[in-house]
Chains A and B, each alone.
Chain A
Amino acid sequence: QVQLVESGGGVVQPGRSLRLSCAASGFTFSNYGIHWVRQAPGKGLEWVTVISYDESNKYYADSVKGRFTISRDNSKKTVYLHMNSLREEDTAVYYCAKGKDSSASPSHFDDWGQGTLVTVSS
């Protein structure tokens, strides 16, 4: 069965960096785009970024553009989210989710990881 496992969350000071990982199994990883969606404590869901199957297309929400970078290693079946210049408003649970196809087009999400909490605080 499809499994997505996030890791790398933790407490970090404003302005610092953090890298999240999303390890996949149970499907042909290199055939799918992968998204990150976040949820601030007690709040709703916010789409963050997407990467296509071959890294040729990457898109970002305006709130993270220029600060976050998504990448993937198909040999390791892992997607990474590099987060720089973190702000308190980036505090959230970060979920990775499998897209509906190989592209970076908008998608619904059949499969989600369990999430990893990022807390930005001094």
Chain B
Amino acid sequence: IVLTQSPGTLSLFPGERATLSCRASQTVSSSSLAWYQQKPGQAPRLLIYDASNRAAGIPDRFSGSGYETDFTLTINRLEPEDFAVYYCQQYGKSPETFGQGTKVEIK
């Protein structure tokens, strides 16, 4: 399954809302879709799994939605530490695959 993320780069001010899209080439079964945040020099960090469940310790300004082929990660009220690259990943069908990433940068 090919995952296409858009936009490639999102330029926003702190406090604004970020809306990131992940589109799958075929239906992702059981909404088996996750979102990760990655900062330079660090490993990815799980934010959302099963399309809409926040991982442990993730602030509630992060939310996920969607099903079948269209998924969205929303970050409300961007904090300075939220500026990073975000990846979606599907694990409904082997092999698991990742999107190419969306960079959220400070405007």
Contacts and interface: CB of A to CB of B under 8 A. Distances in A.
A63 B41 CA distance: 25
Nearest to A63: B95
B43 A45 contact: no
Given A44-B87, A112-B43, A106 B95 contact: yes
Nearest to A104: B94
Contacts, number: 54
A47 B43 contact: no
B40 to A, nearest CB: 11
Interface in A88-110: 95, 105-110
A45 B89 contact: yes
Contact of B95 (A45, A59, A112, A115): A59
Contacts of B44: 45, 95, 109, 112
A45 B87 contact: yes
B49 A108 contact: yes
B87 A110 contact: no
A115 B40 CA distance: 12
B49 A47 contact: no
A114 interface: yes
A11 interface: no
Interface of B: 32, 34, 36, 42-46, 49-50, 55-56, 87, 89-101
